A = this chain, B = another copy of it.
């Protein structure tokens, strides 16, 4: 499994952990299951309870407990998401999350926030952006590093398949929380994940996700130069 530690800054890093398999794997991999020396100084788990689903309070406790077991600090909020004029609920939740991350960067002196985005996310984003006829940069989609205002994001798991991360967690007997909406194919990303990608893997290219990831790396390199 290709975890790219070279993009992690040397200072303090927030780990954005929702409780899903990808972000739980992120916390496990970076702290070596709690065995990494000085992990408590280097990392802090960040979690937002958006209060939009019944299970969200339990997920909050699950992530807080995970941080405790890994021996690293936990910083979470129970947010109250209110839509501004013209915002979708998803956009509002994203704004609340970004505000919280911004706060954490400032108050905790974080150099970056790491997220659990993986190779399947890259491929799904690529396929969804065809709809918007994005140019090279839009198609490349998810980058290993990016900034939103004062928040620097790093994504060390882009070289890993979703499946690999879950296998890794199972191997160590670790649990995660499944977002119930993941199965709802009226949501575009879920349709791409559960229908389009499996179809294309069967009919067009068994290594579709790996190939789109490689294209994404090439597109990112080209748009930089």
- Which residues on A are within 8 Å of B, measured CB to CB? 127, 130-136, 139, 191-192, 195-196, 199-200, 203-205, 207-208, 210-212, 214-215, 218-219, 221-223
Question: CA of A212 to CA of B208 in the docked complex: distance in angstroms?
Answer: 17
Chain A binding surface, main DSSP class: helix
B133, A136: Cβ atoms closer than 8 Å: no
Q: How far is the CB of A215 from chain B (nearest CB, A)?
A: 6
Q: Which 6 A-B pairs have the closest CB atoms?
A: A135-B218, A133-B214, A133-B211, A131-B205, A136-B222, A196-B204
A219, B136: Cβ atoms closer than 8 Å: yes
* Residues of chain B with a CB closer than 8 A to A200's CB: 196
* Residues of chain B with a CB closer than 8 A to A210's CB: 133
Q: How far is the CB of A120 from chain B (nearest CB, A)?
A: 15
